[in-house]
Structure 1
Amino acid sequence: MAGAVPLDAQPYNTCGKALEVHSSSAVIVSCNGATEQQFRRYFTQQQNIAWLTFVVPADTQLTFDLVPSGSADNLDFLLFKDADGSFCRELNSAKARPLRFNLSTPQPGKGSGTGLSIGALHDSELHGDAPPFCKSVKVKRGERYYLLVNDAGGPGSFNFYLHLNYPGQAVPESISSIDARPIKVPPMARSHKYILRLMVTDSLGNPLKAMVDINGIIPKQDFSRTLSEDSIAIDYSRKTTIYCNSPGYMLSATSFTAPDAGYGGNLTIRLSPIIKNKDITLGGIMFETRKADLLPESEQPLLNLITFMRVNPKLKIMIKGYVNDPYGSDKGRARTLSEKRARAVYNFVKDRGVARSRIKYKGCGSESLVYPHPENMSQEQANRRVEIIIE
């Protein structure tokens, strides 16, 4: 590609004044405008922006490079698709959500360029020590895109290299190398919600499609979706539990509490292959004191068990109940109560559609205590548990 063409210093600081870029262009653009109000939650540092726009000439894979002119420049970007030609007119509406964005901070010795790359892993990257490139985008002929670039290092300029790969040509790689290090997100200015990018993988880190249920996102509202990666909005300081199930893998429950500040961060949940004949404790199963009545907070963990049974329809399980009686003061009562509690779990699962031929139960009393001599309530609770064995 030929060298970049310098442009005059006119501001491209609004969507309506966006610089029109052609597929053969490599241009030098100045960042010297203030961004629209709704995008300031992304650009929490200095705001020195420029808008660019282009039309795709053919079905292809879109990549581009933003290369700063100076060492102090720190480029961020948001990429939007104009679906119906009204993007600039509806910019203030909730529809204006970026298709890709990268807010990462340049790292010493890694270069300070950013953009889209064929080999990048994620649709978006947040502030901090994050990969500088996002995944490329499959685009179609005639589609229009808008690119909002911010120089957080102060008023400056950058080279914009637009790569539109025509059919029959090799897919272009980015100018800069790809850095796929894990993201560490520092505290940031408060936005409306905390954006959690959730990724589900197998034990080797390969993306894994899973049924994900999250309770407690906002009061009286839960989240349920099949995904391998997604961004989820969570109220600040809210505690959630993330349940994951995938065929051939163990059920998973992960506690997560959103911080009270910051734009967002990443969470990767790794699922382990199913192992038969191994005791698995079901966390969160609670009963009335000295009774076998399930407490309301037990519902979500048990629904997760049902989901696990449904996505693995050939599995059979044994439900085992335990009580905390470290001194064996009443072994008969302990075994009876533990059996009633195991049966309560059995009935919950059976009554919600799991065939009784797939589930058994038994009471184990105070056998196999996790803590033979509990020293606090937490250890007593660990002894007072429900386990399953996959048969």
Structure 2
Amino acid sequence: MCKTLNILLFFFLSFCSFGYTQKVKDTYSACEGTINIFRSNSFTLQFLGQKGNSNRFSQYPALKHITSGNQIWFSFVAPTNGSVSLEISSKRTGLRLIVFDAAENNVCTDISSGNAEIKRLLEPADVSVIGLSEHVTEAFQYPLQIEKGKTLHFVVIADHDHPEYIQMDFRFHSDDPGFSEYKSKEVNLKKDRETPSLIVQVRDKETGKPLVADLILKGVRKYDGMYNVSDLVFDINRKSKIEFYCDHEGYFFKDSSNIAISAEKDNLLLIELEPVRSGKSVQIGGIEFIPGTSQITENSIPKLNRLKDFLIINAMLNIEIQGHVYEPGEDNSFSGQKMSEARARRIMKYLTDHGINKERLSAVGYGNTKPIYKNPKTYSEEQANRRVEILIK
């Protein structure tokens, strides 16, 4: 399993099986599928092994010789004035790095038309490590200065068409000595003893021990933002519905939305994360299908993208996608078995269509043979039986 710190990645990807237009170019091997990096991090990514030539840089005389379509794109928006350094390494030689300054219009259009500015171009011969560093060599150029709110776009290019892995250490160095990459690292932000509180706790699900995790909260107004905490307390002045996104290295991500928060009493939000290891399975909530079909609902796309992002930044993991259905009064019908298999395959297709190597995935259906609730009494218990799980292989 790769050692990696979780980063938040957002892609806007789709394909025709779910009522969308297929856009293979929207994977992260092209500008349209750019991975967004929000803070300093170390992680592993995989080239998709794209074959054929790319004419993305045809408008740049200095780049016309670069034709390989085996690329990884990512971008970074500066939270303050500062500089960016990075180191990228691979087992193979033949790495190239181009850094573009984002233009005023759509950056992908501007790169295609030759209007985006090239800030750095690295293409040293016969090296497997390149980057931006104060220690300048043939393979390293100076870090890039960047102003608050500006965006840099990076593309790493392989001279081969193999699905190789790269290791990347990305660092943002702020000019503000008081800058923190998190909104707050304080555990207790409560200011008024008389008002109700929201108490957030992040715990290892197996041991109950605290985990200092990356946490994004939305829906609590002045406390919205990113935190790096195991325990967080703040005031609640009005009832609301919140959502959260939680990540920790070596654990499955966990998200939830529409959590009702009371303004009349204290609220406890317990986030239990499950460790990632071979043989471990976890339910991926929020993935739903149109009844009686394997069609994934549009509301499920964000959760599928989170699963995709998890696999991108944990590029050494292989998973088995497991489909389960709920059939009242049935042990396991032929149709239920086939439906569970079709749903697992549909999720696998979504992931492969959006850049995940199919060699890392398998899909199985269990029909109605492994219900969580053998005699469900509520709709939520029925939904728990009608689920998707992933197994780390």
Instruction: Give the TM bin, normalised by the shorter chain.
Output: 0.3 to 0.5
What TM-score comes out, normalization by structure 2 length?
Answer: 0.43
What TM-score comes out, normalization by structure 1 length?
Answer: 0.43
Structure whose alpha-carbon radius of gyration is higher: 1
Higher helix share: 2
Could you say which structure has the greater relative contact order, defined with CA pairs below 8 angstroms and 6 or more residues apart? 2
